[in-house]
Structure 1
Amino acid sequence: MLKQSQTSSNIAAWAIKHPIGVNMIALALLVLGLFMLQRLGVNLLPDIIYPDVRVRIVDSGVPATIMEDKVTRQLEEQLAITEGAISVQSRTTESRSSIDLSFPYGTDINIALRDASNRLDRAKRFLPDSIEPPVIYKRDPSQIPVIEFIVSSNQKTPIELRSYADYQLSKWFINLPGVASAELGGGLVREIQVILDQQRLAAHQLNFKDIETLIDSENRDIAAGRIYTEFDELSTRTDARFESLDELAQLPLISETTQQVDDAVKLNEIADILDTHEDERVSIRLNGMEGVKLSIQKQPQANTVEVVDAINQRIKQLKKEQLIPDDVQITAVDDQAVFIKHALNNASRAALTGAFLAMLVVYFFLGDLRRTLIIGTAIPMAIVITFIIMEISGLTLNIMTLGGLALGIGMLVDSTIVMLENISRHQQHKEADSSSLDPALQAANEVNSAIVASTTTNLVAVLPFLFMSGLVGLLFKELIITISAAIVSSMLVSLTIVPSLA
């Protein structure tokens, strides 16, 4: 403790003897801290990756009992042997099978995801051919949409509204910086249905598979190679996609007994062709009007507030350029940036209030405006140093770090007030003191050990919380790091800036 006290005393003595150098370093740290503040990510929650891997498989129209027997059990047997997995949970419903793998907290979820993907690849050979491609992903709070809109219209039909949102509106957002995806929900998805007449189909010696294969083979664009001319080279293709219902209706059905297209039966002779929609699974309504939900997700390291602001700015730009029809209303129903801005405003208000009250108390006891302003300078300096430590530690501004910063603000003024009050007392009794030692240096020597001891006590009291395991440990990690950074910043400011200014 003696050596530590001497070291801190040397720091304070150097600061008192070199006030200009300390002030220049403080200004450099102020600029660096403001720069780091601009780089800090802004999120609602800390960057927590839960140790869970999820697998989803869809097979339309299959009953739950068959999905459980043919899909779920096969996946459970293969995924249960994934290295490190401690729990396997499954849910089976009609057309859908869900498997959740849990791992101990602290597991590298990227490695776990890779191992589970390898097991899933091995399990595919046991699964039916009719399933859609399996989806495997890790549970990540950053996948929560940062903003959600309801797109509605008083003129467009639900099918037209869904098509507009899918093929036009959503495409305007996916190229914005920080945006990861734009997903749609609800509305009616256009679907062309071919309702076959079984009796007519049997009369022409055809079956469902024949019609499916024929439509699939005829409705495609195929590259046809290159044509070389004397001066140029042209790429060609067969443009054979159906562009209207009439083209689909006139599709000739050529079989073994029909060798010529002119003699072939047309598709509309054995089937009813309907321009309709898929079955509605999710119903979205806003103020009594049918709508489509547009959910926008951000990239993991992107700033939530900046992403939301860019999205809102893009909507204003589209409306200004008449790219969004007048009959289309876009209403925000969920916005994470609102909560983040409120948290930032509350933290800023708490910091300003704390700084003002601290300055008021100092002025009340010392009666000196200059020393009061020193406290007002020390608090923001300690805060910007905290921002530097947060950026170096890879933290973001979220409800946990803001809470830690709000708690730390109360600790920021303790050491500075102790140092400032002692220097002020020694300066007032300078004439009565026969010692030739600088009163500021003498005062700093007296309280250095007390400041270091009190700061160290506060620090060691909160550091054990960093070793908490489980979800609680992940949640409070950023809170404790922020409080610790604020405590260390307070000590540095009290040992350097305050003595040099006082």
Structure 2
Amino acid sequence: MRLNVSAWSIRKPIPAVVAFAVLTILGLISFRTMSITRFPNIDIPIVQVLITQSGAAPSELESQVTKKVEDAVASVNGVWHIVSTVTDGSSSTIIQFTVGSVDIDRALNDVKDQIAKIRTDLPRTIDEPIISRVDIEGLPIVTYAASAPGLSVEQLSWFIDDTVARDLQSIHGVGGVDRFGGVDREIRVALDPEKLLALGVTAATVNEQVRADNVDLGGGRGELAGQEQAIRTLAGARKVEDLAALPIALPGGRRVRLDELATVTDGAAEPRTFTRLFDEPIVAFGVTRAKGASDVTVDALIEKRLAKISAAHPEVKFTKVDTQVDSEVGNYHSTMETLIEGALLAIVVVFIFLRDLRATLVTAVALPLSVIPSFWAMDAIGFSLNLVSLLAITLVTGILVDDAIVEIENIVRHMRMGKSAYRASLEAADEIGLAVIAISLSIAAIFSPVSFMGG
């Protein structure tokens, strides 16, 4: 016996009505809780290795750093393409993996392991290598400018790093806070060449001793009161005075304090970048969202938290200078308006051509009952309301309107033959139901390969 869903629903309407009522309620609930983002969550299989060395020429970095990094990461499973860029004091290596070949998190760990293996072969004067994923979530969703006439650039930069960044990072959905402009804190050790020459010690020797002594190290483990405890050697200076008092070994077994050879100061590093707003120097910071969070929700929470910070620190003024949330909200509202306009136009077209109030009401009810439950399915599989998903809903709505008009027109045609609405619905659905399903499935088959794409 052939199963005819349309005929079964017409003969027993209560189960169908209850099912769609439940799905509609679930869809409305999911629609209110779904996150709104610019793009869908995409795992881009790209890892970046950034190594900086102040004052190094590109030729030196290429031979001493870049080539060694490329040789090390080339053995990682799934590597498809490696591109390196070398500039004054900076070496950037982009490792692109074959889509779908490896898990990006595992690939990131493999790259870190390979860099750790060659760390001792790299120059000691390089900064710690920065190994990170390249993803869409790394772009700031909103950028603010901070200004405070009563604070210096150093004080304002420290306020952003210590107060604002820490406070914003505690918000659920915030991925990170990046400062633009300003200056960094720097403990400067200015060696006196005359004293070094008189005591017979070189700057390189002092540098090695400071690096070796000013570090915290693991000391193994021990047993205390019957319990195993980790042992750490805390030799890092906690204050500038502690660093200034660091003993430096001299030839012949003598020792002197570091501040006898140099001037140790706690200040600001040399500014390498600057930001201005309306010709006024400011310190800017951008906020990125965590993966899976809603841009709109995170932006609202950031505004509330900055309002609290401004109330506690009235001398600091925050100005929003850039945001992508406004365009996302605009796209979202535009798509929703397009859906509503399309549905209304479809209802008007049905009424104009069929001139049947019952058929028009059926169309008006069928459209939202078909679209709204899709939000529950999207939320269940982790989709967000973004450019791609909203475009898909808009396109599918057009297909749904086509199917609905064909079905309703055929039912009206049977009713005009003198048949009752019940009999006309049964025969019309049985007559073209398979053809309508075949058309919809053929369209789904065309786009189905996209669902198997990696990323």
Using the size of structure 1 for normalisation, the TM-score is 0.77
Matches within 5 A, 1:201-350: 201-205=196-200, 207-208=202-203, 271-272=262-263, 276-319=267-310, 322-323=311-312, 325-350=313-338
Cα 1:206–1:344 shift into 2, 3 Å: same
Please state how far the C-alpha of 1:30 moved relative to its aligned partner: 0.5
Partner of residue 120, structure 2: 125
Deviations 1:69-113 (A, max 9, x none): 211121122222222323222222233222222222222242433
Please state how far the C-alpha of 1:25 moved relative to its aligned partner: 0.9
Q: Distance in 2 between matches of 1:266 and 1:123?
A: 35
Q: Distance in 2 between matches of 1:251 and 1:70?
A: 32
Partner of residue 184, structure 1: 179
Cα 1:251–1:442 shift into 2, 3 Å: closer
Q: Secondary structure at the match of 2:144?
A: strand
Q: Distance in 2 between matches of 1:172 and 1:216?
A: 32
Q: Does 1:57 align with 2:48?
A: no
Q: Distance in 2 between matches of 1:47 and 1:249?
A: 50
Q: Secondary structure at the match of 1:151?
A: strand
Partner of residue 81, structure 2: 87
Percent identity over paired residues: 28
Cα 1:239–1:102 shift into 2, 3 Å: closer
Cα 1:248–1:117 shift into 2, 3 Å: closer
Deviations 1:444-477 (A, max 9, x none): 222313322332333334335556xxxxx669xx
Deviations 1:7-53 (A, max 9, x none): 3xx21111112222221111100012123334534321122222222
Partner of residue 448, structure 1: 433
Cα 1:95–1:355 shift into 2, 3 Å: same
User: 1:387 is matched by which residue type in structure 2?
Assistant: F
Cα 1:382–1:295 shift into 2, 3 Å: same
Q: Secondary structure at the match of 2:146?
A: strand
Q: Distance in 1 between matches of 2:259 and 2:48?
A: 44
Q: Distance in 1 between matches of 2:376 and 2:239?
A: 59
Deviations 1:251-304 (A, max 9, x none): 898979999xxxx98876764555542121221111112122212222212222
User: 1:415 is matched by which residue type in structure 2?
Assistant: D
Q: Distance in 2 between matches of 1:257 and 1:457?
A: 88
Match for residue 76 of structure 1 among 58, 70, 75: 70
Q: Does 1:409 align with 2:397?
A: yes
Q: Does 1:24 align with 2:18?
A: yes
Q: Secondary structure at the match of 2:127?
A: coil
Q: Secondary structure at the match of 2:54?
A: coil
Q: Does 1:198 align with 2:193?
A: yes
Q: Secondary structure at the match of 1:164?
A: helix
Q: Distance in 1 between matches of 2:261 and 2:126?
A: 29
Cα 1:415–1:52 shift into 2, 3 Å: same
Q: Does 1:398 align with 2:383?
A: no
Q: Secondary structure at the match of 1:327?
A: coil
Please state how far the C-alpha of 1:60 moved relative to its aligned partner: 2.9
User: 1:421 is matched by which residue type in structure 2?
Assistant: E
Q: Secondary structure at the match of 1:281?
A: coil
Q: CA RMSD in A?
A: 3.5
Instruction: Using the TM superposition, name which of 344-353 and 211-220 deviates more.
Output: 211-220
Cα 1:88–1:212 shift into 2, 3 Å: closer
Q: Secondary structure at the match of 2:131?
A: strand
Q: Distance in 1 between matches of 2:259 and 2:338?
A: 73
Contact in 1 for aligned 2:213/2:235 (Cα 8 Å): no
Please state how far the C-alpha of 1:172 moved relative to its aligned partner: 0.8
User: 2:398 is matched by which residue type in structure 1?
Assistant: G
Partner of residue 459, structure 1: 444
Using the size of structure 2 for normalisation, the TM-score is 0.84
Q: Distance in 2 between matches of 1:197 and 1:363?
A: 92
Q: Secondary structure at the match of 2:125?
A: coil
User: For the pair shown, which has the larger CA radius of gyration, 1 or 2?
Assistant: 1
Cα 1:117–1:29 shift into 2, 3 Å: same
Please state how far the C-alpha of 1:396 moved relative to its aligned partner: 2.4
Partner of residue 368, structure 2: 380
Q: Distance in 1 between matches of 2:391 and 2:156?
A: 43
Match for residue 406 of structure 2 among 395, 418, 425: 418
Q: Distance in 1 between matches of 2:174 and 2:38?
A: 16
Deviations 1:119-147 (A, max 9, x none): 22322232223333322222211222222
Cα 1:251–1:109 shift into 2, 3 Å: closer
Instruction: Using the TM superposition, name which of 350-359 and 302-311 deviates more.
Output: 302-311
Q: Does 1:351 align with 2:339?
A: yes
Please state how far the C-alpha of 1:159 moved relative to its aligned partner: 1.1
Please state how far the C-alpha of 1:181 moved relative to its aligned partner: 1.6
Cα 1:119–1:191 shift into 2, 3 Å: closer
User: 2:116 is matched by which residue type in structure 1?
Assistant: D
Q: Distance in 2 between matches of 1:76 and 1:218?
A: 33
Contact in 2 for aligned 1:218/1:241 (Cα 8 Å): no
Matches within 5 A, 1:464-483: 464-466=449-451
Please state how far the C-alpha of 1:369 moved relative to its aligned partner: 3.9
Cα 1:23–1:302 shift into 2, 3 Å: same
Cα 1:218–1:58 shift into 2, 3 Å: closer
Q: Secondary structure at the match of 2:118?
A: helix
User: 1:309 is matched by which residue type in structure 2?
Assistant: A
Cα 1:437–1:131 shift into 2, 3 Å: closer
User: 2:192 is matched by which residue type in structure 1?
Assistant: D
Q: Does 1:145 align with 2:140?
A: yes
Aligned residues: 440
Matches within 5 A, 1:422-437: 422-430=410-418, 433=419
Contact in 2 for aligned 1:219/1:242 (Cα 8 Å): no
Cα 1:258–1:427 shift into 2, 3 Å: same
Q: Secondary structure at the match of 2:85?
A: strand
